[in-house]
Structure 1
Amino acid sequence: MQRIFITLLCLIPSLCFAKIAEFKVIDKGGSGSFSAIASTDTSLDGYVVYRPKELNNAVKQSSKLPVVVFANGGCMDTSFPFQHMLSNIASHGYIVIALGKMQNSLADRALNKASNTMIPLAIDWISAQTNNSISEFYATANLKKIAVAGQSCGGAQLLATAADTRITSYIMFNSGIGDMTMANASKQSLQNLHAPVIYLVGGSSDVATNNAKLDYQRINHVPIVFANHRTAGHSGTFEQPFGGSFSALAIKWLDWQLKNQQHNAALFLQSQATQFPAWDIQAKQF
């Protein structure tokens, strides 16, 4: 009877306590101070959690960890093409929850579309876990610092769920809605943004760049940055070690927005991008 109860209880992820089912290490744990792993969790089916391997040590050395929820290109249920970047972000002291089950190659299972509802459900899960005294994630997540990020169609999923008041920052990778309708998002969805947002695109060869430019022109109610890598294209630098410069720039943004590292502000507000020579950056409403 007790086994049946536990099985039924864990059909509701927010009520279950976290336990690693499997994990892997990418790029030797990332470039940050906290060696990261990509893990699946018994209490969260259908996601990958990229996090410092030693969670409590990361919290002791910094503070409670900000959270990033990531929606994938194509709105697909795999973060495999982005694992270098997501693991690297985690190694800098973040809990990253990506939509879709763990993969070791894109060919090891059939791919499907991920539901928009997976974004708020990820926030529900980490909120429950960090308040659950028997969870590995107990007292590890900073629920006042939550970013949602999405690449390409995943950016449309971000916009479709952007009204969630728990979100404190947004990252649009190679994405822009323009005049399209996608993943239940449209240009009207831009009004749901209620926190600072950054667009990172890949130049003239990126199919999302023109839509991102339109979004930048239209968003006049929240702080916004437009960062353009002149030659990266729609696939960015995600498959490079540590996720390349898309990852490095995203970490600078996250450290500024979610960790209050104000010295990063000049990079985005004054176009002092000497360490990112391939990028053009502009901002407004700060």
Structure 2
Amino acid sequence: MRSRNPAHRFSAAVVALITAAALLAGSAGSASAAGTGPYDAEYTTTLRLYGHTVYRPADLPANERLPIVVWGNGGCLADGTMFEKFLLEIASHGFLVIANGRPGGSGSTDADMLTEAIDWAVEENGRLFSPYRGRLDTGSIAVMGQSCGGIEAYEASGDERVDTTVLWNSGMLSDLDNWRLRRLHAPIAYFTGGPDDIAHENALDDWDRIPSGLPAFLGSLDVGHTGTFGEPDGGEYGRVGALWLKWRLKGDLQAGQAFTGSDCGLCSTEWDIRRRNL
């Protein structure tokens, strides 16, 4: 069993995350007409969930209910536009994405903010006069996060409402927290930046510890700890992340072909993949 050194990895992770913040920080103004999906996406804020940034189709579809995705930022930083390009891409495929932190915000976040975002979305779906009333699929919920935000996603994934957990460049920092892995109940996906990603080995270690019967996917692409989040539409991470969510939250079997079968869409590509119970 590989032993993790939390102090060493945490200090190294801080350096990587500061770099990531500089590379990935988005503007504080609203964005629209973004993403490659069928909907132009934008982000907005609301006083009813003040400490978050909401990514959504600019025009809420009348004939489709939006699954809910909550997001924790790298470094557990409270900047809701830190991953703007990536989250706009996800929203453009018909998802309501709620990121921890306000646009251009500062300070730190915690896992409770992800649960708070889920609670808000569920309430808004039923609230009279809410723009989201009857437009959200409260039975399809994902928790996601990058690096430190992935640890937040782990913590929030114990919520029975969660239908999938997605970790980007992330893994447990300490074996003392491995009990969180044993309580995972929904399909999980890990996406790492390859051996040069500081979180890669942690993700591999977690892969060996999650419940054996859990549907799971691990994809590694040699892009380092900051991934492709800063590229237009989130780059390859944006493309693959949207496919996973469309499959797990919308039942899109065509999207699922990227991950299943001997000739899966990510098979025989630059992605190095592992699969279990899919």
Q: CA contact under 8 A between 1:23 and 1:39: conserved in structure 2?
A: no
Identity %: 33
Deviation sequence 1:164-210 (CA, Å, 0-9, x none): 011111110000116455xxxx1110112110000000001100110
Structure 1's 83 and 275: CA in aligned 2 closer, same or farther, altered over 3 A?
Answer: farther
After superposition, residues 117-136 of structure 1 pair within 5 angstroms as 117-136=112-131
Q: CA deviation at 1:272?
A: 2.2
- Segments of structure 2 that go 5 or more residues without pairing to the other structure are 1-27
Match of 2:132 among 127, 130, 137: 137
The corresponding residue for 2:235 is 244
Q: CA contact under 8 A between 1:67 and 1:94: conserved in structure 2?
A: yes
Deviation sequence 1:190-244 (CA, Å, 0-9, x none): 1121100000000011001101011111111311100001x21000000000000
CA distance in 1, matches of 2:128, 2:80: 29
Deviation sequence 1:52-110 (CA, Å, 0-9, x none): 1111xx242xx21101000010111113231101011001100000000112xxxxx5x
For the residue of structure 2 that corresponds to 1:211, the secondary structure is: helix
- Segments of structure 1 that go 5 or more residues without pairing to the other structure are 1-21, 104-108
Match of 1:170 among 160, 165, 174: 165
CA distance in 2, matches of 1:276, 1:49: 36
Q: CA contact under 8 A between 2:77 and 2:107: conserved in structure 1?
A: yes
Q: Aligned partner of 2:234: which letter?
A: G
CA distance in 2, matches of 1:266, 1:119: 29
Structure 1's 93 and 68: CA in aligned 2 closer, same or farther, altered over 3 A?
Answer: same
For the residue of structure 2 that corresponds to 1:126, the secondary structure is: helix
Q: CA contact under 8 A between 1:203 and 1:232: conserved in structure 2?
A: yes
Q: CA contact under 8 A between 2:267 and 2:273: conserved in structure 1?
A: no
The corresponding residue for 2:245 is 254
The corresponding residue for 1:10 is none
Q: TM-score, normalised by structure 2?
A: 0.85
Q: TM-score, normalised by structure 1?
A: 0.83
Match of 2:178 among 178, 187, 195: 187
The corresponding residue for 1:15 is none
Match of 1:33 among 35, 38, 49: 38
The corresponding residue for 2:270 is 278
Q: Aligned partner of 1:37: which letter?
A: E
Q: Indicate yes or no: 2:87 matched with 1:86.
A: yes
The corresponding residue for 1:101 is 102
Structure 1's 39 and 178: CA in aligned 2 closer, same or farther, altered over 3 A?
Answer: same
For the residue of structure 1 that corresponds to 2:219, the secondary structure is: strand
